[in-house]
Amino acid sequence: MTTFDPYAPSRETTEGTVFSVTGGDWDSLVQEIGSTKEERVVVNMGPQHPSTHGVLRLILELEGETVTEVRCGIGYLHTGIEKNMEFRNWTQGTTFVTRMDYLGPIFNETAYCLAVEKLLGITNDVPERASVIRVMMMELNRISSHMVALGTGALELGAITPMFFAFREREIVLDLFEMISGLRMNMAYIRPGGVQQDLPEGALPKIRQAVKQMRKNFKDNTSLLVGNSIWLKRTQGIGYLDLAGATTLGVTGPVLRATGLPWDLRKVQPYCGYENYNFDVITADTCDVYGRFLIRMNELEQSLRIIEQAVDKLEALEGAPVMVADKKIAWPAQLALGGDGLGNSLNHIREIMGTSMESLIHHFKLVTEGFYVPAGQVYQAIESARGELGAHVVSDGGTRPYRMHFREPSFNNLQATSAMSEGGMIADIIGAVASIDPVMGGVDR
């Protein structure tokens, strides 16, 4: 039996040991700090604070109201999504990844599915209609995510009305999601090889009408903030982070583009056919909270432009497939509801099970076990509403991932909080964090 006591006080287990910091004795270091006669206070902001965008904990060291040090405490929303995916087949993985950044589910699903398709070697086999639907859904998701960022960011700085307007526009997008996929959030709509089902009848005219309505409303919403002197004073020159700092910290998305660098993966590393769409990369050169909010406001119009082009393409591709033709990957039929509105239709059941015993066996194994993915590893990055979202997928040749890892932009961007806030006022931390727009589901995942 060991005599080591894990609960012994530290002085008993470290007796006779001298600890030093930067080459000096610990006691002398403490005395040096005390000799400055500075009155510093350490406080917690969060993880229940209403303005930290979820369960984010900020450990602040203050000298008066000046912030001398900021540390981020994370992990309060850990879900183990990456580990859980190792125990589910490749199709089931979409139901997990969609819940990471819960404000950008379509981005999560698309990054994951593009990576799986790379491993399968079917990137060029994905039907064009499916790729266009993916682009349209991602841009709708970008709008809904930016609406939350702009609305809550304004609210946290004291502007209440813009939040109501922003959430009104977000409801329009969520209604479209419900019409297309059946769910407003966490849709698991993007699947390896395509999308879960085609657009319902009459969807495109409704999307066109929604674009027209949102374009008009966005102009009204923007004027509420851009012309407000109080909002300008709370954002201009606040949360400063230049290009050197952003690239050093690995910051991407609107925070990076606010330094003047036009880095957008839709342009520099296009995927899903983004090279076939006309849109501009919005930048600013302010390096502050104001520039980041301004970029998100102006990106709304660019997303509307892309959606309109996608609708035009979908009209020309009416009736085209939305899933790869490989029956070893694609489920054999599109879901259709039965007469009771709950179960599968008789035609759907007959197509799967009523043809032959071999078809039934194939369908059973495809759904319960999943398809096999060749051994290897890939990294696929896309431009989400918050920046570069990357999926690193490792396969051992089986029916489920050997390892999954995501480069989540909220996690990387959040590390810039210290650089933005130290030396400023405690009240300005709220604006700095809001301009990063972190989603803790993605940070902790």
Q: What is the pTM (predicted TM-score) of this model?
A: 0.86
> CA–CA separation, 41 vs 65, rounded Å?
10
Judge whether 4 lies within some domain. Answer: no
Residue 335 included in any domain: no
* 175 located within any domain: yes
Strands 190-191 and 194-195: antiparallel
Q: Where residue 140 sits, what CATH number does that domain have?
A: 1.10.645.10
Q: How far apart are CA 374 and CA 85, in angstroms?
A: 17
Query: How large is the greatest C-alpha to C-alpha distance in the chain, in angstroms?
Result: 86
Residue 309 lies in a domain: yes
Residue with tokens 């690193």: 392
pLDDT at position 340 is 53
Residue 383: strand pairing partners: 388
| Domain-located, residue 48 | no
Give the pLDDT band of residue 2 (cuts 50, 70, 90): very low
DSSP annotation of 425? B
How do residues 115-168 score in pLDDT, each as one tens digit?
A: 999 999 999 999 999 999 999 999 999 999 999 999 888 888 888 888 888 899
- Give the HSE-up count for residue 145: Cα atoms under 13 Å, Cβ half-sphere: 30
| Helical residues (DSSP H) of 121-264, grouped into ranges | 128-156, 161-181, 203-226, 229-235, 243-249, 254-257
Report the alpha-carbon distance of residue 294 to residue 144 in Å, rounded: 16
- The pLDDT value recorded for residue 5 is 44
Q: Is position 109 within any domain?
A: yes
Is 20 buried (19+), middle (13-18) or exposed (0-12) by CB count in 10 A? Answer: exposed
Residue 91 pLDDT more than 70?
A: yes
Q: What percent of the chain has pLDDT over 70?
A: 86
Q: In this prediction, what percent of the chain has a pLDDT beyond 90?
A: 48
Task: Give the span between the Cα atoms of 77 and 73, in whole angstroms.
Answer: 11
Convert the pLDDT of each residue in 398-411 to its tens digit: 999 999 999 999 99
Looking at the structure of the chain, the number of domains it has is 1
Where in the sequence is the domain holding 105, given as residue range(s)? Answer: 81-329+371-416
Question: Parallel, antiparallel, or unpaired: how do β-strands 57-63 and 66-73 relate?
Answer: antiparallel
Give the pair of three-digit tokens for residue 177.
């999601």
The mean per-residue pLDDT over the stretch 249-277 comes to 93
Q: Facing residues of 403 across strands?
A: 394
34 in a domain, yes or no?
no
Chain mean pLDDT for the chain = 85
**Does 356 map to a domain?**
no
